[in-house]
Amino acid sequence: MLHYEVRKPKTATENPPLLILLHGYGSNELDLFSFAEELPDELLIVSARAPYEMGMGGYAWYAINFDAANGKISDLNQARESLVKITDFIDTIKKEYNTSKTFLLGFSQGAILSYALSFKYPNKAQHIVALSGYLNEELLPKNPTEEQINTDYYISHGSVDQVIPVDWARRAPKFLDNLQLKNVFSEYPVGHGVAPQNFYNFKSWIEERLK
């Protein structure tokens, strides 16, 4: 079971909607949890800590190594193991808190795994918020089909992101459009982070889906 922080709904309901937060590489569960107080009162918000410890309070969902040409190599086996852990974690939280619809919000590495989870475990989460990440097709099933998946996606990226190029992020809407999956894509004039306007926009997107 992954370590986590929780903000229980401020307005109690029998079956609260669930928002799972997945942080980025080298961060921890407290990073995205700073959003929690500003998000809708009815949400049960759970921020998970990645399983691989990096030291200095940082954690990763999978290792990123560098080759001789200084290219990044992701440990996809670790990524797949983390996907299983996240899926089991979601199931445990759903059962413990008797939740209704599920939102999955990931930043960077957390966004990459959020995309992957939505295809590998269809409809485990109904709504995906992918911030500053990209859709890594190596983590997807060989033949993802729109017939199985009813998930929709909010995607955003910094136009001057030096960690994950914005061009990588732009591929996701095209991929999702080809599968006729609903998505919105926004760019903001920032680097690898979440601009205030970005926060308000994805908050509004979540609020629309809580109605």
Q: Classify residue 144 by its DSSP letter.
A: -
Q: What is the CA radius of gyration of the chain?
A: 16
**Between helices 76-97 and 109-120, what is the axis angle to 10°?**
70
- Rounded to two decimals, the pTM is 0.96
Q: For residues 89-105, give the mean pLDDT.
A: 97
The pLDDT tens digits for 142-195 are 888 767 899 999 999 999 999 999 999 999 999 999 999 999 999 999 999 999
Give the confidence band of 69 by pLDDT, cuts at 50, 70, 90.
low
Q: Classify residue 68 by its DSSP letter.
A: T
Cβ atoms 151, 115 nearer than 8 A: no
Nearest to 107 by CA among 177, 30, 44: 30
Contacts of 69-72 spanning 24+ positions with Cβ under 8 A: none
Arch. (CATH architecture) of 4-210: 3-Layer(aba) Sandwich (3.40)
Q: d(Cα 113, Cα 120) in Å, to the nearest integer?
A: 10
Residue type (1 letter), 87: T
Q: What percent of the chain has pLDDT over 70?
A: 98
Answer whether residue 120 shows pLDDT above 80: yes
Domain ranges of the chain: 4-210
Answer whether residue 12 shows pLDDT above 90: no
Answer whether residue 67 shows pLDDT above 90: no
Q: For residues 117-122, give the mean pLDDT.
A: 96
Cβ atoms 110, 23 nearer than 8 A: yes
Residue 12 CB coordination number (10 Å)? 9
Answer whether residue 68 shows pLDDT above 80: no
